[in-house]
Amino acid sequence: MTSNAGLEGVVIGDSIISLVNGAEGKLIYSGYRIEDLAAHSLFEEVEFLLWNNRLPNQAELDALVKEVAVGGKLPDGVITLMKGLPKDASPMAVLRTAVSALAHYDPDGENNTDKDVAHNKAVRLTGQITTATAAWERIRNGQEPIQPREDYNLAQNFVYMLKGEEPDETTWRAINVYLVLLAEHGVNASTFTSRVITGTISDMHSAVTGAISALKGPAHGGANTAAMNQFLDIGEPDNVENWFQTNVKDGHTRVMGIGHRVYKAPDPRGAILKVHAKALAEQSGNTQWFEIAEGLENAARADDFFIERDLFPNVDYYSAIVLYTLGIPTDTFTPLFAMSRIAGWTAHIIEQMGGRLIRPTAHYVGHMDLDYVPVAER
């Protein structure tokens, strides 16, 4: 028996949802290149693709956009629950609680085996996670939460529910690109968690709650927050070289957002987000944070340590600049990740339904055949 730390290289089954080719820097959603989807698709179009293994026609897309908006309204009981939580609670912890509570209000309740029912749950959860993310930002700032509008797509609704004003096209399109790019990424930690829970024939809300709990960990979903905090610590573009020397070369600090468990070539999502980060920075008139990020990337990519290990900016690196430039609080970055990844989670949950219980084993390396000593003699 051999063991693989972190299950690295272990194949858990077949899937038609996505391909992550880290050696070549490729990401494919159900046959389509991520570059094409990010350039042309609404998030709901990508979600339809992941759920159905094909792109929707216009009527199907229009119907899904409206279904997500209508299903995204939060029950009064969940809003009351959220209002009762401590205002300094972590947004990811609040989202975890809200999704768990939503199970009690779902009309399909404990129906855990019908894939059509699961699809309907996935539609509702897509909208509700977005509404809950925006609602908590308003609640903790003493504002009333806003329910989604039926004539807006998901990215538009998020901006509207967060700010209480008409979403401008530049902002909602930047959010849409972010959602498309993070919608799915193979059997990552949170997705695997959702599949393990689904394999026990538990309900979708439990599986998504478990996935959110896994994403909440800073080793998985919090990397773009850590990357932005790093840029804030540097402060000014002129400080990059000194910061890199003092903290990375001499202090052996990691550069957050550079390097990836899978990618040994440039992360295709990172390259796309860099373009959007630069455009947003120039449009806003504040290029400070983009210049810091680009300067730090250049310093790292000129260093032998990063070159020899094929360490490139990942999706978290420039997504931090995009979200911060849009005025998203840093502790809300990870809930936006969940808003996107609900597409992949639910696709994997539906694919896992009816599958075998996931039950790996461990290589025992502990003591054997110890003599038992009664407690009075120890």
Residues with a catalytic annotation lie at 220, 260, 316
Task: With CA atoms as reference, report the closest residue to 42 among 53, 18, 58, 26.
Answer: 58
Distance CA 264, CA 309 (A): 8
Residues 275/176/260/294 CA torsion (nearest 10 deg): 30
Task: With CA atoms as reference, report the closest residue to 36 among 180, 219, 200, 164.
Answer: 180
Token readout for 162 is 């967060």
Query: How many other C-beta atoms can be found within 10 angstroms of the C-beta atom of residue 348?
Result: 26
Strand order in the sheet with 32-33: 18-21, 26-29, 32-33
Query: How many other C-beta atoms can be found within 10 angstroms of the C-beta atom of residue 87?
Result: 10
Side chain identity at residue 122, one-letter code: A
Token readout for 216 is 């909440």
Which ranges in the chain belong to alpha helices (H)?
Answer: 34-40, 43-52, 58-71, 76-83, 91-102, 115-139, 154-163, 169-181, 189-199, 204-216, 223-234, 240-243, 268-284, 288-301, 304-308, 315-325, 333-352
Which ranges in 168-314 belong to alpha helices (H)?
Answer: 169-181, 189-199, 204-216, 223-234, 240-243, 268-284, 288-301, 304-308
Residues 320/326/329/335 CA torsion (nearest 10 deg): -70
